[in-house]
Structure 1
């Protein structure tokens, strides 16, 4: 997640195979990836996946996102933590409308707390916290025009072990499921977190067979790739390794790994 320069995610090199590239050879526009992705309709073996950016500092104009070659955004349906004032949290209806008007897609993500922040990591808040977070996320998602059947990706922005998953994160996701249902619940996290979420049955399915609502970050993944992830965060903005500038803001960059990655305009 791209919130502040003090975020410290390890980076590992990633590759995009010939097989992966060829998966994007057809139906990108029909899949709702917009005109920004239409130019990728005939990739070669060396071609890259369509990309989405995530950021928090402020709203980046749609024209700047298009000019940078990205297909859309993953934007927050959560508010800023105490003591912070992120201009892109939460996404607003006018901003979402400007993105759609430019042919860009929008995917929803929830993150309020973080390790070492002024609010604790969301996944530590248990079942009741999951209920509250899901209600907040859905209110902000729908207020911004988010599709009624689109998922929200809930962040586990930390390197957790299996005990932490079982005892803290899983009850939180069960609370989220009780409000949104499994099919509208997604996860952001490292390889193990994505795998455990899928195995525990707390995240839904993409319309593309074999894919789940998992947004994997390269952080804490030790070079492993979760094959069912619809999104893969390969570039993370940190103080030591800044992300690319888009509209004057440093951003994270994510590969779209399935034609249905949870974008609003595919889940009306």
Structure 2
């Protein structure tokens, strides 16, 4: 989940296949659980888009602008700003969450404090003890904003890592997170390989929709592949060279909802 524009190397998202259309139809069939912003959509055809959630960091975008843009909700931070930065949407606040809910929008929680080249290192480099600390911070901010007690929090791997780095570094961080939240309340954000490794190592939980895991996949570092178990797919990544769409005057990332239970608060009270 990118909180500042970066230039990334990524492939094109794949064309929507008949199988994807059926998956999107399953998501659309339960739009009551995805907020009323997209409630007028019918079952998508092979060329139609899934319901979408946006993510952003610079400031809070009023609910009415999100609805007007046709999105069903947000993925919002349950983490603080790094030293030297001040992001208006980090962390999500109780009043803002209530305004989104009142507008029929859904909320999914994400944690990211550090980043590559930032004033704090990438979170996954902090080891088991760092995972424990980050999980405690994320849970405190999530619940303070009214987040569901059984809802997952997606923890971010915001760079391209190899299997050895996953096994020796990132996995230990996720084990620390699991020791606080349990695997069922833990999700991952990353490229397709990170999502696959997290699922295989059982450090992320399971959606109520069969076959899906708490994996939020970004198109970055994924080529043209989409993991079949991902509940969210970050199709639009806002960068300086490839700006995301404007919502309420702010450029945002756009995420396709791949399963109607993608970890939104209202389904996990």
TM-score range, shorter chain: over 0.9
Alignment pair present for 1:11 and 2:13: no
Q: Which residue number corresponds to residue 21 of structure 1? A: 21
Contact kept, 8 Å, 2:31 with 2:260, in 1: the verdict is: no
SS of the residue 2:37 aligns to: helix
Decide whether aligned partners of structure 1 residues 25 and 161 sit closer, same or farther in structure 2, where only a CA change above 3 A counts. Answer: closer
**Cα deviations across residues 103-131 of structure 1 (Å, max 9, x unaligned)?**
10000000000000000000000000000
Looking at structure 2, the residues matched to 114 and 2 of structure 1 have their Cα atoms a distance apart, in angstroms, of: 9
3-state SS, counterpart of residue 37 of structure 1: coil
CA distance in 1, matches of 2:10, 2:240: 13
CA drift at 1:95: 0.4
Q: Count residues in correspondence.
A: 266
By how many angstroms is 1:28 displaced? 1.8
Deviations 1:175-194 (A, max 9, x none): 00000000000000001000
What TM-score, normalized to structure 1?
A: 0.97
Whole-angstrom distance in 1 between the partners of 2:23 and 2:229 = 14
Alignment-derived partner of residue 235 in structure 1: 236
Counterpart of 1:45 in structure 2 is: 46
Distance across 1 between alignment mates of 2:116 and 2:243: 20
Matching of residues 1-268 of structure 1 within 5 Å: 1-5=1-5, 7-14=6-13, 15-25=15-25, 27-30=29-32, 32-268=33-269
Give the gaps of 5 or more residues in structure 1.
Answer: none
Does the CA contact (< 8 Å) of 1:2 and 1:251 recur in 2? Answer: no
Give the deviation of 1:207 after TM superposition. Answer: 0.3
Aligned Cα RMSD in Å?
Answer: 1.1
Distance 1:20 1:214 in 2: 17
- What 5-or-longer segments of structure 2 have no aligned partner? none
8 Å contact kept, 1:25–1:40: no
